[in-house]
Amino acid sequence: MKLYQVDAFTSSLFAGNPAAVVPLERWLDDGLLQNIALENNLSETAFLVPDEQGYSLRWFTPQVEVDLCGHATLAAAWVVFNALGFPGERVRFSTASGPLFVTRSGQTLSLDFPSRPAHVLADTAPFHQALDLPIREVLQARDTLIIVDSADQVRNFQPDFTAIAALDTFAVMISAPGEDCDFVSRFFAPAKGVPEDPVTGSAHCTLVPYWAEKLGKTHLHARQLSARGGELHCQLKGDRVTLSGTARCYLQGDLQL
């Protein structure tokens, strides 16, 4: 059984967001899939099985299965196009979030994801207490979106992972206008086994509609300010978001199961 580790949303090794990708002939027991993800100890492991329209795709953190993951989808697409001999330039993934499509143009991979707009959250006190930040807005989709004034506030934020894990939300993302890009962000999901995610494609399903409205534009350049960092070129298309980036394969090997 092959395993690939791919750095997503970067053109350089040791940057972007690493994801493990495990192609399967058929689905294994869910407990085994979860144990593989735990053993890999990356923020996400993607498992894919061929189906009539392309591939079925699932994502696991070290602790739970999730319904959407951008960087692991990009990594899975890299494996499909470069290691599995997929003949076309557009692959369909059947997922818990519906059909997802990834298109290849040269080295660039473009993900077509559902938009997840956020609504303003009324009770913001727990987030003020947990984050110790000068918060401008708090909004909620699957994840909680915290808006602050500057990229420096995002960059210099020191998270209290215990306090964040205690919040009643899947994850917390902090965002601000960019300095040499449209917006910046960071993403934290310690309760799900991901203290800080280096580059988070799924978060941009909420970030892009927010910043598209605020900035009055549908094409956006985003940067995630984690230690590894990553770049995304984004477009809002109605109720869909296109996320484009590149990827590099760091390793491939065999699982001894």
Q: Which residues are catalytic?
A: 44
Question: In angstroms, what CA-CA distances link 134 with 129, 156, 165, 208?
Answer: 11, 12, 20, 22
Calpha distance 254→180 (Å, rounded): 41
Helix (H), strand (E) at residue 99? strand 98-105
Residue 13: CB atoms within 10 A of its CB come to 12
Widest Cα–Cα separation across the chain: 52
Residue 223: CB atoms within 10 A of its CB come to 21
- Please say whether the dihedral angle defined by the alpha carbons of residues 58, 62, 66 and 68, taken in this order, is positive or negative: negative
How many C-alpha atoms does 184 have within 13 Å on its Cβ side?
Answer: 19
How many C-alpha atoms does 144 have within 13 Å on its Cβ side?
Answer: 23
The two tokens of residue 239 are 């109720």
Helix (H), strand (E) at residue 130? helix 125-131
Calpha distance 116→216 (Å, rounded): 18
